[in-house]
Amino acid sequence: MSVFDRLARGAALLATVTLMAAAPVEAKVGGGMSSGSRGGRTFSPPPSTATAPGSAQPMQRTEMPSTARPNVGAPAAPGRRFGFGTGMMAGLLGAGLLGALFGHGFFGGLSGLASMFGFLLQVALVVGAGWLLLRLFRRRSEPAFAGLGGAATGSPAGPTAYARSSPAGLGGSATGVSVAITEADYAAFEASLKNIQRAYGAEDVAALTHLATPEMVRYLSSDLENNRSRGLRNDVSDAMLLQGDLAEAWREGSVEYATVAMRFSLVDVMVDRASGRLVSGDRSRPEVSTELWTFRRENGGAWILSAIQQTA
Protein backbone atom coordinates (compact mmCIF):
# COMPACT_ATOMS: atom_id res chain seq x y z
CA MET A 1 0.00 0.00 0.00
CA SER A 2 1.45 3.35 -1.03
CA VAL A 3 1.94 6.33 1.23
CA PHE A 4 -0.93 8.14 -0.47
CA ASP A 5 -3.28 5.17 -0.06
CA ARG A 6 -2.47 5.05 3.65
CA LEU A 7 -3.04 8.78 3.97
CA ALA A 8 -6.40 8.47 2.23
CA ARG A 9 -7.49 5.66 4.53
CA GLY A 10 -6.24 7.59 7.54
CA ALA A 11 -8.16 10.68 6.42
CA ALA A 12 -11.37 8.67 6.23
CA LEU A 13 -10.82 7.28 9.72
CA LEU A 14 -9.97 10.71 11.08
CA ALA A 15 -13.14 12.16 9.58
CA THR A 16 -15.18 9.47 11.33
CA VAL A 17 -13.49 10.16 14.67
CA THR A 18 -13.98 13.89 14.20
CA LEU A 19 -17.72 13.39 13.71
CA MET A 20 -17.82 11.27 16.85
CA ALA A 21 -15.95 13.91 18.85
CA ALA A 22 -18.23 16.62 17.46
CA ALA A 23 -21.37 14.87 18.69
CA PRO A 24 -23.69 17.11 20.70
CA VAL A 25 -22.77 17.84 24.26
CA GLU A 26 -24.94 16.17 26.83
CA ALA A 27 -28.41 17.66 26.57
CA LYS A 28 -28.97 19.44 29.86
CA VAL A 29 -28.40 22.81 31.50
CA GLY A 30 -24.66 23.12 32.04
CA GLY A 31 -23.80 20.43 29.48
CA GLY A 32 -23.48 17.77 32.17
CA MET A 33 -20.42 19.44 33.68
CA SER A 34 -19.71 20.98 37.08
CA SER A 35 -19.55 24.72 36.49
CA GLY A 36 -19.50 27.98 38.42
CA SER A 37 -18.18 29.25 41.73
CA ARG A 38 -19.06 28.65 45.38
CA GLY A 39 -17.09 31.50 46.87
CA GLY A 40 -14.34 30.34 49.21
CA ARG A 41 -15.71 26.77 49.03
CA THR A 42 -15.45 26.40 45.26
CA PHE A 43 -12.77 23.73 45.52
CA SER A 44 -14.24 22.03 48.61
CA PRO A 45 -16.92 19.37 48.02
CA PRO A 46 -20.28 20.06 49.67
CA PRO A 47 -21.39 17.61 52.38
CA SER A 48 -23.38 14.58 51.25
CA THR A 49 -27.13 14.55 51.87
CA ALA A 50 -29.98 12.07 51.71
CA THR A 51 -30.81 13.29 48.21
CA ALA A 52 -27.17 13.17 47.05
CA PRO A 53 -25.42 10.67 49.36
CA GLY A 54 -22.30 10.48 47.19
CA SER A 55 -19.66 13.08 46.50
CA ALA A 56 -19.89 15.94 44.03
CA GLN A 57 -17.65 16.22 41.01
CA PRO A 58 -15.02 18.99 41.22
CA MET A 59 -15.51 22.13 39.18
CA GLN A 60 -14.59 21.67 35.53
CA ARG A 61 -15.41 25.26 34.61
CA THR A 62 -14.84 28.03 37.12
CA GLU A 63 -13.52 31.59 37.15
CA MET A 64 -12.46 31.30 40.78
CA PRO A 65 -8.66 31.74 40.93
CA SER A 66 -6.70 28.67 41.92
CA THR A 67 -5.24 30.58 44.86
CA ALA A 68 -8.61 30.15 46.54
CA ARG A 69 -8.04 26.40 46.73
CA PRO A 70 -7.84 25.21 50.35
CA ASN A 71 -4.57 23.66 51.51
CA VAL A 72 -6.20 21.05 53.72
CA GLY A 73 -6.96 17.78 51.98
CA ALA A 74 -5.22 18.80 48.74
CA PRO A 75 -8.24 18.12 46.47
CA ALA A 76 -7.60 17.27 42.84
CA ALA A 77 -7.55 20.05 40.28
CA PRO A 78 -10.94 20.81 38.64
CA GLY A 79 -11.71 18.44 35.81
CA ARG A 80 -8.62 16.31 36.44
CA ARG A 81 -10.44 12.98 36.52
CA PHE A 82 -11.49 13.54 32.90
CA GLY A 83 -8.10 14.59 31.61
CA PHE A 84 -5.85 12.74 29.20
CA GLY A 85 -2.52 14.09 30.44
CA THR A 86 -1.58 11.02 32.47
CA GLY A 87 -1.87 7.26 32.36
CA MET A 88 -2.67 5.70 29.00
CA MET A 89 -2.50 8.96 27.04
CA ALA A 90 0.92 9.84 28.47
CA GLY A 91 2.15 6.37 27.56
CA LEU A 92 0.93 6.74 23.99
CA LEU A 93 2.55 10.15 23.64
CA GLY A 94 5.80 8.85 25.10
CA ALA A 95 5.81 5.87 22.77
CA GLY A 96 5.21 8.09 19.75
CA LEU A 97 7.91 10.57 20.65
CA LEU A 98 10.46 7.87 21.42
CA GLY A 99 9.66 6.20 18.14
CA ALA A 100 10.25 9.45 16.32
CA LEU A 101 13.56 10.03 18.11
CA PHE A 102 14.85 6.60 17.16
CA GLY A 103 13.87 7.03 13.53
CA HIS A 104 10.93 4.62 13.44
CA GLY A 105 8.22 7.25 13.17
CA PHE A 106 5.37 7.68 15.59
CA PHE A 107 4.31 4.25 16.86
CA GLY A 108 6.46 2.58 14.22
CA GLY A 109 4.37 4.01 11.38
CA LEU A 110 5.30 6.05 8.35
CA SER A 111 8.07 8.61 8.25
CA GLY A 112 7.97 12.36 7.75
CA LEU A 113 4.50 13.83 7.15
CA ALA A 114 2.86 10.42 7.15
CA SER A 115 4.27 9.70 10.62
CA MET A 116 2.89 12.95 11.98
CA PHE A 117 -0.52 12.23 10.45
CA GLY A 118 -0.52 8.74 11.92
CA PHE A 119 0.32 10.12 15.34
CA LEU A 120 -2.51 12.66 15.15
CA LEU A 121 -4.89 9.95 13.98
CA GLN A 122 -4.08 7.74 16.96
CA VAL A 123 -4.49 10.66 19.35
CA ALA A 124 -7.90 11.38 17.82
CA LEU A 125 -8.90 7.72 18.21
CA VAL A 126 -7.91 7.72 21.89
CA VAL A 127 -9.82 10.96 22.54
CA GLY A 128 -12.90 9.65 20.75
CA ALA A 129 -12.83 6.36 22.67
CA GLY A 130 -12.36 8.22 25.95
CA TRP A 131 -15.35 10.46 25.19
CA LEU A 132 -17.57 7.45 24.48
CA LEU A 133 -16.47 5.66 27.66
CA LEU A 134 -17.08 8.78 29.75
CA ARG A 135 -20.58 9.23 28.33
CA LEU A 136 -21.39 5.54 28.97
CA PHE A 137 -20.11 5.82 32.54
CA ARG A 138 -22.22 8.90 33.21
CA ARG A 139 -25.38 7.27 31.92
CA ARG A 140 -24.80 4.11 33.99
CA SER A 141 -24.12 6.14 37.14
CA GLU A 142 -27.24 8.29 36.75
CA PRO A 143 -29.50 7.67 39.77
CA ALA A 144 -32.56 5.55 39.10
CA PHE A 145 -36.01 7.14 39.24
CA ALA A 146 -37.03 7.24 42.87
CA GLY A 147 -40.50 8.73 42.58
CA LEU A 148 -41.82 11.32 44.98
CA GLY A 149 -39.65 10.92 48.04
CA GLY A 150 -40.30 12.31 51.48
CA ALA A 151 -38.37 15.23 52.84
CA ALA A 152 -34.82 14.22 53.62
CA THR A 153 -34.24 13.29 57.22
CA GLY A 154 -30.58 14.25 57.20
CA SER A 155 -27.45 12.50 58.38
CA PRO A 156 -26.71 11.66 62.01
CA ALA A 157 -24.02 14.34 62.02
CA GLY A 158 -26.43 17.20 61.43
CA PRO A 159 -29.50 18.58 63.21
CA THR A 160 -32.91 17.82 61.70
CA ALA A 161 -33.65 21.41 60.77
CA TYR A 162 -35.32 23.18 57.86
CA ALA A 163 -37.76 20.35 57.20
CA ARG A 164 -40.61 21.15 54.83
CA SER A 165 -44.15 19.92 55.08
CA SER A 166 -44.32 19.22 51.33
CA PRO A 167 -43.44 15.54 50.73
CA ALA A 168 -41.67 16.34 47.45
CA GLY A 169 -40.01 19.56 48.43
CA LEU A 170 -36.69 20.67 49.80
CA GLY A 171 -35.92 19.93 53.39
CA GLY A 172 -33.77 17.83 55.66
CA SER A 173 -30.67 18.69 57.61
CA ALA A 174 -27.32 20.19 56.80
CA THR A 175 -23.97 20.41 58.48
CA GLY A 176 -22.01 23.64 58.61
CA VAL A 177 -25.09 25.84 58.37
CA SER A 178 -24.42 29.41 59.46
CA VAL A 179 -27.23 31.06 57.50
CA ALA A 180 -30.89 30.63 58.40
CA ILE A 181 -32.73 29.09 55.45
CA THR A 182 -36.48 29.68 55.56
CA GLU A 183 -39.50 28.24 53.84
CA ALA A 184 -39.43 31.19 51.45
CA ASP A 185 -35.82 30.38 50.53
CA TYR A 186 -36.70 26.79 49.70
CA ALA A 187 -39.56 28.01 47.53
CA ALA A 188 -37.12 30.34 45.75
CA PHE A 189 -34.69 27.49 45.07
CA GLU A 190 -37.45 25.34 43.59
CA ALA A 191 -38.72 28.23 41.47
CA SER A 192 -35.19 28.91 40.21
CA LEU A 193 -34.82 25.30 39.12
CA LYS A 194 -37.93 25.56 36.97
CA ASN A 195 -37.30 29.09 35.68
CA ILE A 196 -33.70 28.41 34.67
CA GLN A 197 -34.60 25.20 32.87
CA ARG A 198 -37.42 27.02 31.08
CA ALA A 199 -35.24 29.98 30.07
CA TYR A 200 -32.45 27.71 28.86
CA GLY A 201 -34.86 25.65 26.75
CA ALA A 202 -36.21 28.88 25.23
CA GLU A 203 -32.65 30.19 24.68
CA ASP A 204 -33.70 33.29 26.59
CA VAL A 205 -30.34 34.70 27.67
CA ALA A 206 -31.98 37.93 28.85
CA ALA A 207 -34.03 35.94 31.38
CA LEU A 208 -30.98 33.97 32.48
CA THR A 209 -29.16 37.20 33.38
CA HIS A 210 -31.75 37.75 36.12
CA LEU A 211 -31.57 34.16 37.38
CA ALA A 212 -27.83 33.42 37.50
CA THR A 213 -24.48 35.06 38.11
CA PRO A 214 -22.65 36.61 35.13
CA GLU A 215 -20.22 33.70 35.23
CA MET A 216 -22.97 31.09 34.93
CA VAL A 217 -24.69 33.12 32.21
CA ARG A 218 -21.45 33.05 30.22
CA TYR A 219 -21.25 29.26 30.49
CA LEU A 220 -24.90 28.74 29.59
CA SER A 221 -24.69 31.21 26.70
CA SER A 222 -21.59 29.44 25.41
CA ASP A 223 -23.40 26.09 25.52
CA LEU A 224 -26.37 27.54 23.66
CA GLU A 225 -24.09 29.06 21.03
CA ASN A 226 -22.30 25.74 20.64
CA ASN A 227 -25.64 24.05 19.96
CA ARG A 228 -26.61 26.82 17.55
CA SER A 229 -23.36 26.49 15.59
CA ARG A 230 -24.15 22.81 15.09
CA GLY A 231 -27.68 23.50 13.93
CA LEU A 232 -29.15 22.07 17.13
CA ARG A 233 -31.48 23.26 19.86
CA ASN A 234 -31.78 21.85 23.39
CA ASP A 235 -35.52 21.63 24.07
CA VAL A 236 -36.10 21.53 27.83
CA SER A 237 -39.55 21.46 29.43
CA ASP A 238 -41.70 20.19 32.31
CA ALA A 239 -39.05 20.49 35.05
CA MET A 240 -40.35 19.11 38.34
CA LEU A 241 -38.60 18.82 41.70
CA LEU A 242 -38.91 15.31 43.14
CA GLN A 243 -36.78 15.57 46.26
CA GLY A 244 -34.17 17.87 47.70
CA ASP A 245 -32.33 18.95 50.82
CA LEU A 246 -29.85 21.52 52.01
CA ALA A 247 -26.18 20.53 51.94
CA GLU A 248 -24.70 23.69 53.46
CA ALA A 249 -25.29 27.40 53.83
CA TRP A 250 -22.75 30.02 54.84
CA ARG A 251 -21.86 33.70 54.73
CA GLU A 252 -18.82 35.45 53.26
CA GLY A 253 -18.98 39.12 54.12
CA SER A 254 -22.21 40.52 52.70
CA VAL A 255 -22.75 37.47 50.45
CA GLU A 256 -24.70 34.38 51.53
CA TYR A 257 -24.42 31.01 49.84
CA ALA A 258 -26.62 27.91 49.93
CA THR A 259 -25.88 24.60 48.23
CA VAL A 260 -28.93 22.43 47.66
CA ALA A 261 -29.08 18.84 46.44
CA MET A 262 -32.01 18.35 44.09
CA ARG A 263 -33.43 15.34 42.30
CA PHE A 264 -35.68 16.45 39.49
CA SER A 265 -37.33 15.23 36.31
CA LEU A 266 -37.69 17.02 32.99
CA VAL A 267 -38.16 16.42 29.29
CA ASP A 268 -34.74 17.12 27.79
CA VAL A 269 -34.14 16.49 24.08
CA MET A 270 -31.88 17.76 21.32
CA VAL A 271 -33.56 18.67 18.04
CA ASP A 272 -32.48 19.89 14.62
CA ARG A 273 -33.04 23.65 14.47
CA ALA A 274 -34.20 23.69 10.85
CA SER A 275 -36.49 20.68 10.68
CA GLY A 276 -37.37 20.04 14.32
CA ARG A 277 -36.22 16.44 13.88
CA LEU A 278 -35.40 14.66 17.12
CA VAL A 279 -31.63 14.09 17.40
CA SER A 280 -31.38 12.66 20.93
CA GLY A 281 -33.58 12.15 23.96
CA ASP A 282 -37.19 11.00 24.34
CA ARG A 283 -40.11 13.45 24.38
CA SER A 284 -42.42 10.89 25.95
CA ARG A 285 -40.18 9.91 28.87
CA PRO A 286 -38.84 12.51 31.33
CA GLU A 287 -35.25 12.12 32.47
CA VAL A 288 -34.30 12.16 36.15
CA SER A 289 -31.14 13.91 37.36
CA THR A 290 -29.55 14.60 40.72
CA GLU A 291 -27.40 17.72 40.92
CA LEU A 292 -26.11 20.15 43.52
CA TRP A 293 -27.06 23.75 42.80
CA THR A 294 -25.41 26.58 44.69
CA PHE A 295 -27.25 29.88 45.04
CA ARG A 296 -25.93 33.19 46.30
CA ARG A 297 -27.46 36.46 47.38
CA GLU A 298 -25.95 39.75 48.39
CA ASN A 299 -27.20 42.03 51.15
CA GLY A 300 -30.38 40.01 51.54
CA GLY A 301 -31.35 40.28 47.86
CA ALA A 302 -32.75 37.58 45.59
CA TRP A 303 -31.07 34.19 45.31
CA ILE A 304 -29.36 33.57 41.97
CA LEU A 305 -27.62 30.47 40.63
CA SER A 306 -23.84 30.53 41.01
CA ALA A 307 -22.85 26.89 40.40
CA ILE A 308 -24.10 23.48 39.24
CA GLN A 309 -22.25 20.35 40.29
CA GLN A 310 -22.80 16.83 39.04
CA THR A 311 -22.83 13.91 41.45
CA ALA A 312 -19.86 11.55 41.19
**Amino acid 186: pLDDT:** 96
pLDDT at 4 over 70: no
Question: Which has more pLDDT, 113 or 249?
Answer: 249
pLDDT tens digits, 205-247: 999 999 999 999 999 999 999 999 999 999 999 999 999 999 9
The kind and range of the H/E element at 190 are: helix 183-201
User: Where does the pLDDT of residue 30 fall: very low under 50, low under 70, confident under 90, or very high at 90 and above?
Assistant: confident
pLDDT tens digits, 119-133: 666 667 766 767 666
Residue 152 neighbours by CB under 8 Å, 6+ apart: 49, 50, 51, 171, 172, 173, 243, 244, 245
Alpha-carbon dihedral 104, 109, 113, 116, rounded to 10 degrees = -90
Half-sphere exposure of 247 (CA within 13 A, CB side): 28
pTM, two decimals, is: 0.62
Lowest-pLDDT range of 56-70, 204-218, 241-255: 56-70
Are 159 and 245 a contacting pair, CB within 8 Å?
no
Name the average pLDDT for the chain: 73
Q: Which domains does the chain have, with CATH numbers?
A: 3-18+83-139 (no CATH), 28-65+149-310 (3.10.450.240)
CA-CA distance, 119 to 100, in Å (whole number)?
10
